[in-house]
Structure 1
Amino acid sequence: MTRHLDVTPKPEAPAPKPLVAVDRAITELRRGAPVLVRSPVGRVLMLAAEAVGDETLARLKADAGSEPMLALTGRRAGVLGLTESETGVFRVAALDGFDTETIAFLVDPCAASLGSPDLNRLQVAAASGLEPACVALTKLARLLPAAVMAEATSHAPFDVVQVEADDITAYQVTAAQTLRQVSEARVPLENAENARIVAFRPSDGGIEHLAIIIGEPDPDQAILTRLHSECFTGDLLGSLRCDCGDQLRGAIAEIAQRGSGVLLYLAQEGRGIGLVNKLRAYQLQDEGFDTLDANLQLGFDDDERIYLPAAQMLRLLGIGRVRLLTNNPGKVESLARHGIEVAERVPHVFPSNDHNQGYLRTKATRGGHLF
Structure 2
Amino acid sequence: MRAYAPFTFADTAAQSPDPLAPDLSERVARVVSDLRLGLPAILTQGGDHAMILPVETLSPARFAALSGQCQLVLTAYRAAALGVQETAGDVSVIQMPPKADLDWLKAAADPRRPWTQPAPQGAAQMAGDIHHAVIRLVKRAELVPAALVVTGPWVSQNAARHGFGTLPAVDVIAQLDAARDMHPVSDARVPMAAASAGRLHVFRAPDGGAEHYAIQVGTPDPDQPVLVRLHSACFTGDVLGSLKCDCGPQLQAALAAMNAAGSGVLLYLNQEGRGIGLANKMRAYGLQDQGLDTVEANHHLGFADDERDFRIGASLLRQMGIDQVRLMTNNPAKIARLTSDGIKVVERVPLMVGRGPENSRYLDIKASKSGHMM
TM-score (ref. length: structure 2): 0.92
Instruction: State the 1:79 CA deviation.
Output: 1.2
User: Once the 2 structures are TM-superposed, how far is the Cα of residue 124 of structure 1 from its aligned partner?
Assistant: 6.0
2:267 counterpart (260, 264, 268)? 264
Residues 91-240 of structure 1 aligned to structure 2 (within 5 Å): 91-112=93-114, 115-119=115-119, 123=123, 125-154=125-154, 155-156=156-157, 157-158=160-161, 159-172=163-176, 174=178, 176-177=180-181, 179-240=182-243
Report whether the alignment pairs 1:361 with 2:364: yes
> Which residue in 2 is equivalent to 1:11?
8
Gaps of 5+ in 2: 16-22
Tell whether the 8 Å contact from 1:45 to 1:60 is kept in structure 2 after alignment.
Answer: no
For 1:73, the equivalent position in structure 2 comes to 75
1-structure distance, mates of 2:312, 2:6: 17
Query: Contact 1:7–1:184 at 8 Å: present in 2 too?
Result: no
The answer as to 2:322 corresponding to 1:319 is yes
Percent identity (aligned): 40
Q: In the alignment, what sits opposite 1:90? A: 92
| Contact 1:308–1:335, Cα closer than 8 Å, also in 2 | yes
RMSD over equivalenced CA pairs, Å: 1.9
Inter-CA distance 251–40: structure 2 relative to 1 (3 Å threshold) = same
- Please state how far the C-alpha of 1:368 moved relative to its aligned partner: 0.5
- What residue ranges of structure 1 are gaps of 5+ in the alignment? none
Match of 2:30 among 24, 29, 46: 24
After the TM superposition, which of the residue ranges 16-25 and 130-139 deviates more from structure 2?
Answer: 16-25
Match of 2:39 in 1: 33
1:85 to partner: Cα distance = 5.6
Cα displacement (A) at 1:14: 1.6
Question: What is the DSSP-based 3-state SS (H/G/I as helix, E as strand, rest coil) of the residue aligned with 2:69?
Answer: coil
In structure 1, distance between residues paired with 2:97 and 2:177? 38
Write the distance in 1 (CA, Å) between the matches of 2:74 and 2:99.
16
SS in 2 for 1:168: helix
| 1:236–1:341 distance in 2 versus 1, CA, 3 Å | same
Q: 1:295 to 1:37 in 2, by over 3 A?
A: same
CA contact (8 A) 1:270 1:278 kept: yes
Q: Distance in 2 between matches of 1:261 and 1:230?
A: 18
2 CA distance for matches of 1:67 and 1:89?
A: 19
Name the CA distance, whole Å, in 2 between partners of 1:125 and 1:39.
15
Question: Residues 288 and 297 of structure 2 are in contact (CA less than 8 Å); yes or no, is this contact kept in structure 1?
Answer: yes
1:331 aligns with 2:334: yes
Structure 1 residues 161 and 85: CA distance shift in structure 2, 3 A: closer
1:31 deviates by 1.1
8 A Cα contact 2:32 2:140, kept in partner = yes
Letter in 2 for 1:59: A
TM-score, length-scaled by structure 1: 0.92
How far apart are residue 27 of structure 1 and its match?
1.1
Instruction: Give the counterpart letter for 2:93 in structure 1.
Output: R
